[in-house]
Homo-oligomer: A and B are copies of this chain.
Amino acid sequence: MKKEMQVGIIGYGFMGHWHAEHMPQTKGITVAAVCDVDENKREEASQKGYRSYKDYRELLQDNSVDTVLVSAPNHLHKEMVIEAAKAGKNIICEKPAALNVQEFDEMVRVAGECKVQLEVHQNRRFDADFRCVKEALNNRTLGKVFTIGSRFFGANGLVHDWHRFPEYGGGMIYDWGVHLIDQMLDLNLGKVVSVSANVHNVINPEVDDYFNAMFQFDNGLSYVIETGTYLLYPLPRWYVAGDTGTLIIKSMLDDAELYRSGSHVEKLPDSVLETKAGPTRAMAKRAEEELVKQVLPTGKPEWQMFYENYSAALNGGADLAVTNAQVREVLQLMEAVRLSGRKHASVDLK
């Protein structure tokens, strides 16, 4: 018989609300209980028909809850996941899974010992823009890709809520870096051999709110991830360049634009003495009529796939979409970005 999921959400903040709204859209998943330290939130939860708890340990003692969703601030993930595992609950944990690799290893170990299912909610693998890029790469739409830019620029300045405090696991590397690095690894582009990163607290005194990281792959590809909360002019969310075309996605909400050159790679004269200057030189812009533009619809995010897959895996019918080995590698690269930022030099990842 298929296991129904009775979920208890720990931390009824932004993501807690998000899960409460999205999870029940998948058949077989019910949100049964909510835990939050804030009285107003508990009241809101009660009004919506959830059993509500102040201390997450109370929720773990609720025998009708079989699956726990951890969406508390980052520094609490480790303790809550380990306690939930010991209470025999299956677990979905918000990203970043932990503050570092060591913490995550302990969480995975305990979950394994307790034979519960632990998956980290890397929901942005199911974003429409990312899936469009992934498809283009899998289909080799752009030929041989040599550089990828994954940028996410915000302009509101200060980071929000507990994300601005280092002791709670705040900052943009934890908040968005974890998504952008996870997406990079999910593209299966090869092995990352080094990262060179620049990390700043631009207008947030306590935590990083800007970073720019260049990841070098063993096959020569470079992948740039840049994000910041005080960049007042956006660059495209995606810039993917290959030897037969260039793919642009301007923002997460936009469709992709694929550019190809109409008359590609004309033969140049053999003589090295014929110096032709002017409009035919390499750095000129392509004439509009020489540039073929194709719009690739990006569709909608498919966030429900995460829950469907989690449920299917619980019933033995699927492998988990987000494996703990992948999550561990993302955390490793996040640490490498920080180290590189401190050293002002690249970090080797052989």
Chain A interface residues toward B at CB < 8 A: 13-14, 17, 37-38, 73, 146-147, 152, 154-165, 168, 176, 193-194, 196, 198, 200, 202-203, 209-210, 212, 214, 216-218, 220-222, 224, 228-236, 239, 241, 243, 245-246, 248, 257, 259-261, 264-266, 268, 272-277, 280-286, 291, 344-346, 348
Instruction: Verify A346–B232 contact, CB threshold 8 A.
Output: no
Instruction: Verify A209–B241 contact, CB threshold 8 A.
Output: no
**Closest B residue by C-beta to A246:** B232
Instruction: Verify B212–A157 contact, CB threshold 8 A.
Output: no
**Distance between Cα atoms of A139 and B118 in the complex (Å):** 54
Instruction: Verify A210–B37 contact, CB threshold 8 A.
Output: no
Task: Give the shortest distance, in Å, between A213 (CB) and chain B (any CB).
Answer: 9
Instruction: Verify B257–A233 contact, CB threshold 8 A.
Output: yes
Please tell me which one of the listed residues B37, B257, B272 contacts residue A161 in the complex, with CB atoms under 8 A apart: B272
**Distance between Cα atoms of A193 and B194 in the complex (Å):** 17
Query: What is the copy number of this chain in the assembly?
Result: 2
- Residue picked from A17, A218, A266, A286, most chain B C-beta under 10 Å: A286
Question: Can you name 29 A-B pairs with beta carbons within 8 Å?
Answer: A13-B277, A14-B275, A146-B198, A147-B200, A147-B210, A156-B286, A157-B264, A157-B282, A158-B282, A160-B276, A160-B281, A161-B272, A194-B344, A196-B196, A200-B220, A202-B241, A202-B243, A210-B241, A217-B344, A229-B283, A230-B241, A232-B245, A232-B246, A232-B259, A232-B291, A233-B259, A234-B285, A235-B239, A345-B348
Instruction: Verify A14–B277 contact, CB threshold 8 A.
Output: yes
Contacts of A157 in B (CB 8 A): 261, 264-266, 282
**Closest B residue by C-beta to A274:** B161
Please tell me which one of the listed residues B155, B176, B261 contacts residue A232 in the complex, with CB atoms under 8 A apart: B261
* The 4 residue pairs across chains A and B that have the minimum distance between CB atoms: A346-B346, A196-B196, A154-B283, A13-B275
**Closest B residue by C-beta to A17:** B277
**Distance between Cα atoms of A272 and B74 in the complex (Å):** 12
Instruction: Verify A282–B346 contact, CB threshold 8 A.
Output: no
Contacts of A236 in B (CB 8 A): 233, 235
Instruction: Verify B282–A159 contact, CB threshold 8 A.
Output: yes
Task: Give the shortest distance, in Å, between A188 (CB) and chain B (any CB).
Answer: 18
Contacts of A257 in B (CB 8 A): 233
**Closest B residue by C-beta to A221:** B198
Contacts of A268 in B (CB 8 A): 158, 160-161, 164
